[in-house]
Homo-oligomer: A and B are copies of this chain.
């Protein structure tokens, strides 16, 4: 029986090989396709597929929004879809939090990223191409120093619900220690009125955001906290053990932080 199966396999392989397995065709890479086919399809559906691939962590390490998707990303960020995508994520996070039976010991925490998660830098991005222009550290730090970043309303809704439920918020950001005062001020002014911890990067730290955040979460767990949830707009916010009991990727097609 096994021999018969093998024979069948070999016959099928041979038959298929002549058709399927020549392996001679030229495969185009992602960049090639863009270069050789500048406008074969409308930009929006294609850019929607790219956005999906960013959100699902398939496209990584990118520097700027590509020129052919710049208008799409600007429309997305300022339109209903960003709101709706965000609301679906937040609704899921709220439903999850409400489903939990807490220990009542006060050690359950929820980790929030800051930029593009708790606070929006959209007023800044609007003047800098919504990610289509290269990152300009100086002007971005100036925006942060202004302390005027508005709350993302969905995240604020999650934050308030967590407080009601007795889950304590921890803000964990790659903003640096020298930005502590302005960050605290900005958070409070926007309605994030209390927190268990506000953790910022030491100034001049030579590591990736993901390594920094993973290390900080490890310290929290070692200190007896239970990370019930973890939400951020970057995969570097939510990858790396201990990542938290559940993680939530908040939408952001404008920039990538490793």
Residues of A within 8 A of B (CB): 5, 8-9, 12-13, 16-17, 19-21, 23, 25, 27-31, 33, 41, 45-46, 48-50, 52-53, 55-60, 80-81, 84-85, 87-89, 91-95, 98, 156-157, 160-161, 163-164, 181, 184-185, 188-191, 193, 241, 246-249, 251
Q: Shortest CB–CB separation between residue A165 and chain B, in angstroms?
A: 10
Query: Is there an interface contact between A88 and B23, defined as CB atoms closer than 8 Å?
Result: no
Query: Is there an interface contact between B88 and A27, defined as CB atoms closer than 8 Å?
Result: no
Complex CA gap A80/B44 in Å reads 13
Give how many copies assemble into the complex. Answer: 2
Contacts of A59 in B (CB 8 A): 88, 92
Complex A-B: 10 CB contacts under 8 Å: A8-B185, A16-B189, A16-B193, A17-B193, A29-B95, A30-B91, A30-B92, A49-B81, A52-B52, A58-B89
Q: Shortest CB–CB separation between residue A51 and chain B, in angstroms?
A: 8
Nearest opposing residue in chain B for A51, CB measure: B52
Query: Is there an interface contact between B160 and A246, defined as CB atoms closer than 8 Å?
Result: no
Query: Is there an interface contact between A21 and B251, defined as CB atoms closer than 8 Å?
Result: no
Nearest opposing residue in chain B for A235, CB measure: B56
Query: Is there an interface contact between A58 and B188, defined as CB atoms closer than 8 Å?
Result: no
